[in-house]
Each structure stands twice: as C-alpha cells, then as structure tokens.
Amino acid sequence: MRQVPARRFKLKKPKAVDPLTGLPIQSVFKEELMRALVKAEQNQELVAIMILDINRFKRINDTMGPDMGDRLMVKIVERMGTCLPSFTLLARFNGDEFTILVKEITKEIQAVEIGEKLIQCFNHPFLLGNQEVYISSSLGISFYPSDGENYELLLQKASIALHWAKRDRDHYKLYEEEMIHELPSNMNLESELRRALDRDEFALFYQPLVDAHTGQLVALEALIRWQHPKKGLLLPASFIPVAEELGLIIPITEWVIQQACTQNRKWLDEGCTIVPISVNLSASHFHHTGLVEYINKVLQQTRLPSEYLELEITESISMNNSDFIFYTLHQLDSQGIKIAIDDFGMGYSSLRYLKHYPINSLKIDRSFIKDIANGDGTLANTVISLAHQFNLKVTAEGVENGEQLEYLKQQKCDRMQGFFFGKPEPPQTISEKFL
C-alpha cells in the first residue's frame, strides 16, 4: 500500500464545523435548537427553523466544476451571514441546503422578515473571477410550538414547506397542515424511502471483480437494489440521487455497510474463500463526521477483518480537497481499508489528489471501455498508464466481451468487472457460482 510520508502532513482532528464553509454542522444545530426550545417554553416564545436550498446549484457544479462550485458556496455563505441578525444560527445541512434557527421571537412575522431578507440577498449576482453568476434560493419555514416540538418534526415540516415553495416556484412557504395531504411527488418517494429502510425493502446484489491475467475472483462490488412493493426491483439510478438530495443517503449507506460486512462474515463462517466486498460511498457521506466510527463499529460487531471491506468514492469527493476528507481517508487507510476512485475520468481532473490521498486503485469509467469496442482505446490506455505511474491498481468496468478483455490484458489492466464475467446477482447465486 502506498504510504504518504508522515512528516509532510499533519493529521488534525476536524472540528464540528463544515470544512468548506466554516459553518456549524447539523449536530451542533440540533443541540442549539434543543436549547432554544427549552428556553422558548419557559419564556413563552416562538422558535422558527428554516431550510434554505440553493436552486439548481448542482447544475452550476456540473457545468463550472467543483472548484468553482466550492468558491461560489463560500461566497453565498459569506453573503447570507451579513443578512442574518445575531440571534439566528446558520448551519450547513447537506450539499446546497442550509438550516437557519431563529430564536427569541414572539411573532411569526419576525422570522418571515428574516427569511425575506435572506431571499433578497441573492438578488445581486455573485462574482467568480470575472464571471457574474445569478442564482436564487427557496426557503421552507416551520415554527415551534405550532408545527412541532422537537428537532425531527420541525425539520420535517420545514422540509415539506420547502418542497412546496419549489413546486409553486415561490421564494418561501410557511408550513401548513394541508401541505402534508398533497405532497409533491418526490416527497412521496421520501416517505417511501424511509419506509423501505424500516421494512427492509433494500437488497444487495454482488458483482465479481476478477484478476485480468488469472481470471480469479479478487473482489465483489455491493450494488444496492430496492424491492419496491408496487414497482418491483428498482436500480440505484432511480432512487440514489433522490436519497442524496433528501439526506437519506447516510442511513441507506450505513445499511449497505452493515449488510455487506454481515454477508461477508456469513460466507467466512460457512467456510467460503472470501474476497473483499467494495461499497460505494456518496459524496455527502464525507460531510458526515461519523463515517469512520460507524465502519469501525460494524467491523467489530461482525468480527470481519478490515481488509475484507473496501470503499469506492467518486472523483468529485476526492477532488473536494479538504483537510477533512484527507483526514478521513487516512484514518480508513490506517485501518487497512482500501479505497478506489470510481468512474475515473468522468470528473474534473486535478491530478494532485492522486499523489496525496491514500488511494489504492482507479476504476476506469464504463464509457471508456465501450469505446474499445468501437476501435478507440485511447482513454482507457491513458487511465491505465496514469494509474501505474502513481503505483495504483486499475480496474476496467463494463467489460462485456472477449475482445475488450484481450485488449485490456495487453494494456496491462490489473482487474476487470463486467457482464462478461458476471452480472450483479443476489448472495445465494454468487456463492454458488464463485465462492
């Protein structure tokens, strides 16, 4: 495994702030809200919570690149800070969503005025280099005590109000009881996703990764499926992006980690020759401080040696060059958990992180492997030689035929995955065929 010389990097324990914006993270917001609720009850006051969403921020990120997206996010936070009075608390919720706590008020209108000011602070464009960027925001507001008496309820109601604000293209909405009866369509998906977790409707399929030269099984990738009671078996593309948007990806990924480790332990106990299982992590998971602790807890509970769990992260996470990600990856690496960069080549490439982060392998994006079948292996070759220059292993994804296999073998690709070797299948089939 590649080691980063310890002298060059100091591992600092991250504080309870969002590393990019310096804003408090949600656990801090929650504690502060709980304190405010106790005080409001004693003093017969109101508390408002707001969720603010930057409209179409993802598009900006996708078109201008994550670095510009980060710079814009910092500017947005600076500007919001200047609009908010001192008795409020602004915190990062997830991605492009923020929560605002307004305490010590006696009338709803006081919070509404603050909300209007926040919306107005987006009226002027943001300057990035010499480019003017126009953005807008949407806001959902809920109140203690009328809409709920705890963090979860108030957040849920503010989030419903936000969905309505977006649907009606209003700048903001206050939560009203009627809203819950006619939820916008992805709110239905939200409650279905929550129910899916409770009712165990998710399943993991596993797809083999083989050694390019010996053809031997070297790892299994865990790929989530949703056994929907009405719609049947759903692929991740139809619900993972929504789960990410709704902040549900964290409990879902925790379920995946738990399930994958439990399954591998089961195979080990049954006397199978096991291989590492790799789990896909979403970018938002890296803003969540409990990731390393959670993984450790599951490894201990299942008594699975850490070398039998691997993680796949997308290029956009690794690009987001922060001390926090650096620290998290090093903690995982020091425990022997290998990290692969998934869909490599599809992001915005600053290659610096390949040198500094403890990464073990790159997975060549499927589209580059498809090009081989059309007689164009340039991108695949480039990724292979790049990976080898950095002493990384390289996996080709989406290998569907012998022609691609032979080509990639010649190019010294290390590992392969694709329908040619096996499709993602339930654990029973995997153990019958491969273990």
159 vs 207 by CB, closer to ligand C2E: 207
Q: Does the footprint of ligand C2E cover residue 315 (CB under 6 A)? A: no
Binding mask 374-413 for ligand C2E (x = CB under 6 A): -----------------------xxxx-------------
Binding mask 285-314 for ligand C2E (x = CB under 6 A): ---------------------------x--
Nearby residues of 164 by Cβ (< 8 Å), 6 or more positions away: 140, 170, 173, 179, 184
147 vs 397 by CB, closer to ligand C2E: 397
Q: How far is the CB of 425 from ligand C2E (least distance, A)?
A: 10
Q: How far is the CB of 315 from Mg ion (least distance, A)?
A: 10
103 vs 363 by CB, closer to ligand C2E: 363
HSE-CB of 269 using CA atoms within 13 angstroms: 9
Residue 111: which H helix or E strand, with range? helix 108-120
C-alpha span between 154 and 166 (Å, rounded)? 18
Longest dimension (CA), the chain: 75
164 vs 308 by CB, closer to ligand C2E: 308
CB atoms within 10 A of CB 166: 17
Nearby residues of 330 by Cβ (< 8 Å), 6 or more positions away: 4, 9, 11, 358
140 vs 418 by CB, closer to ligand C2E: 418
Among 61, 138, 259, 280, binds ligand C2E (CB under 6 A): 280
Closest CA to 212 of 409, 401, 402: 409
Among 215, 216, 307, 419, binds ligand C2E (CB under 6 A): 419
Q: How far is the CB of 409 from Mg ion (least distance, A)?
A: 20
Contact range with ligand C2E by CB under 6 A, out of 39-47, 60-68, 345-353, 416-424: 416-424
Tokens of 272: 């199978």
CB atoms within 10 A of CB 152: 9
Tell me whether strands 232-234 and 217-228 are parallel, antiparallel or unpaired: antiparallel
Q: How far is the CB of 310 from Mg ion (least distance, A)?
A: 10
Binding mask 236-255 for ligand C2E (x = CB under 6 A): xx--x------------x--
Residue 256 binds what, of ligand C2E, Mg ion, none (CB under 5 to 8 Å, by partner type)?
Answer: ligand C2E
Among 137, 138, 259, 282, binds ligand C2E (CB under 6 A): 282
In sequence order, the β-bridge partners of residue 351 are: none
Identify residues 323-362 at the interface with ligand C2E (CB under 6 A). Answer: 342-343
Q: Does the footprint of ligand C2E cover residue 318 (CB under 6 A)? A: no
Q: How far is the CB of 362 from Mg ion (least distance, A)?
A: 10
Do residues 261 and 298 lie in contact, with contact meaning Cβ atoms separated by under 8 Å? yes
Tell me whether strands 88-94 and 97-105 are parallel, antiparallel or unpaired: antiparallel
HSE-CB of 81 using CA atoms within 13 angstroms: 12
Q: Does the footprint of ligand C2E cover residue 418 (CB under 6 A)? A: yes
Identify residues 159-218 at the interface with ligand C2E (CB under 6 A). Answer: 207
Please report which residue ranges of 168-280 form alpha helices under DSSP H.
185-198, 240-245, 249-269
108 vs 400 by CB, closer to ligand C2E: 400
CB atoms within 10 A of CB 20: 17
- Distances in Å between the Cα of 80 and the Cα atoms of 90, 91, 171 are 9, 11, 15
Q: Does the footprint of Mg ion cover residue 280 (CB under 5 A)? A: yes
Do residues 248 and 236 lie in contact, with contact meaning Cβ atoms separated by under 8 Å? no
**AA letter at 93:** F
Among 424, 425, 434, 435, binds ligand C2E (CB under 6 A): 424
In sequence order, the β-bridge partners of residue 280 are: 312
- Positions touching Mg ion (CB under 5 A) are 280, 312, 342-343, 397
- Positions touching ligand C2E (CB under 6 A) are 207, 223-224, 235-237, 240, 253, 256, 280, 282, 312, 342-343, 366, 397-400, 417-419, 424
